[in-house]
């Protein structure tokens, strides 16, 4: 089913990463700059992430002995220092997720470079090292993103959906490891319901949502792929949902031969395997198109 599985460390059958995007209330300020501060209920729902969910999640990770990745907009790093300190003291990775969750596709190449650098500066100051990885806010990877990430020394991106295993993004500037996921592993479709965020879905029971995530895991375990959950503390960190996540983690660990790791470690492993010739990744050349698609007639 997968033509080029990665030789995962210690003979593991698949690599697993729960990535939590701690967007907090950046989302409501971006969506409603004119009156966001009066939307107290929405802000309370989003602050649940750093205030309540992150400590809960970190306690779970501590109990299971896991280190994982958090993607955090730099504005949220400045706004919620206690949550970030707790992530860092648990040995977790804090990776780049925009400045205030701005849409990279809205700006020029120079605008995009400005926000990328502003985020790097905050992460470097707070964590003591440059970020290795990036996830575009709302998967809005632009046709300039790969070049800019390469120029700023990033090792990996985690925004795209082009494979079941890591692959390479190559541009004229160089290359980047892509650690892909997809909407089937995102917690917005099953859970998010918010008039303020203009996203109103019928809320799914945790057991049903987890069933989908678990089916994705079983396939990756069987075929030696990469399972990356794209979740959010304010969404999946709610009590009943996180309890279901703990059950899923127990199931995965019980399966055996599963490599749980932060994305920076997965990317470093993939890079080593490419360099020593034990992994031949698929390569996507970017940009996909240099001009608008016109079919004429």
Distance of closest approach, residue 13 Cβ to Zn ion, in angstroms? 29
Give yes or no for residue 21 binding Zn ion (CB under 5 A): yes
Give yes or no for residue 175 binding Zn ion (CB under 5 A): no
Which of residues 197 and 244 has its CB atom nearest to Zn ion in the complex? Answer: 197
Burial of 95 (0-12, 13-18, 19+ CB in 10 A): buried
Distance of closest approach, residue 17 Cβ to Zn ion, in angstroms? 16
Say whether 99 sits in a helix, a strand or coil: coil
Contacts of 89 (CB under 8 A, 6+ apart): none
Distance of closest approach, residue 297 Cβ to Zn ion, in angstroms? 41
What are the DSSP E strand ranges found in the chain? Answer: 14-21, 69-72, 93-96, 133-134, 156-157, 167-171, 174-178, 193-194, 199-200, 226-231, 258-260, 283-285
From candidates 19, 23, 134, 136, binder to Zn ion by CB under 5 A? 23
Which of residues 80 and 279 has its CB atom nearest to Zn ion in the complex? Answer: 80
- Residue number closest to Zn ion, CB atom: 21
Q: Are 213 and 189 in contact (CB under 8 A)?
A: no
Distance of closest approach, residue 274 Cβ to Zn ion, in angstroms? 28
Say whether 169 sits in a helix, a strand or coil: strand
Q: Are 68 and 58 in contact (CB under 8 A)?
A: no
Q: Which one of 23-31, 42-50, 108-116, 199-207 is the stretch in contact with Zn ion (CB under 5 A)?
A: 23-31
Give yes or no for residue 147 binding Zn ion (CB under 5 A): no
Binding stretches for Zn ion (CB under 5 A): 21, 23
């Amino acid at each position: 089913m997968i033509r080029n599985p990665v030789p995962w460390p210690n003979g593991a059958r698949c690599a697993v990463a729960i990535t939590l995007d701690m967007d907090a209330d950046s989302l409501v300020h971006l969506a409603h700059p004119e009156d966001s501060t009066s939307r107290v209920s929405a802000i309370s729902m989003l602050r649940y992430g750093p205030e309540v969910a992150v400590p809960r999640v970190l306690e779970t990770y501590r109990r299971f002995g896991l280190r994982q990745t958090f993607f955090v907009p730099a504005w949220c790093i400045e706004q919620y220092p206690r949550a970030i300190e707790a992530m860092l003291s648990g040995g977790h990775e804090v990776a780049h997720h925009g400045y205030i969750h701005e849409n990279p596709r809205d700006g020029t190449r120079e605008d995009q470079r400005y926000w990328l650098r502003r985020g790097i500066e905050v992460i470097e100051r707070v964590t003591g090292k440059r970020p290795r990885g990036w996830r575009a806010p709302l998967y809005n990877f632009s046709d300039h993103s790969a070049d800019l990430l390469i120029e700023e020394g990033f090792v990996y991106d985690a925004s795209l959906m082009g494979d079941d295993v890591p692959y390479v993004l190559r541009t004229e500037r160089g290359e980047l490891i892509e650690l892909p996921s997809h909407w089937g592993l995102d917690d917005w479709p099953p859970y998010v319901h918010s008039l303020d965020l203009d996203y109103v879905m019928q809320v799914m029971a945790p057991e049903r949502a987890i069933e989908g995530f678990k089916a994705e895991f079983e396939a990756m375990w069987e075929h030696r792929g990469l399972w990356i959950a794209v979740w959010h503390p304010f969404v999946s960190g709610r009590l009943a949902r996180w309890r279901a996540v703990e059950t899923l983690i127990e199931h995965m660990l019980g399966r055996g031969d599963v490599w749980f790791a932060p994305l920076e470690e997965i990317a470093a492993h993939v890079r080593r395997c490419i360099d020593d010739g034990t992994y031949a990744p698929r390569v996507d050349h970017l940009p996909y198109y240099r001009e608008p698609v016109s079919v004429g007639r």
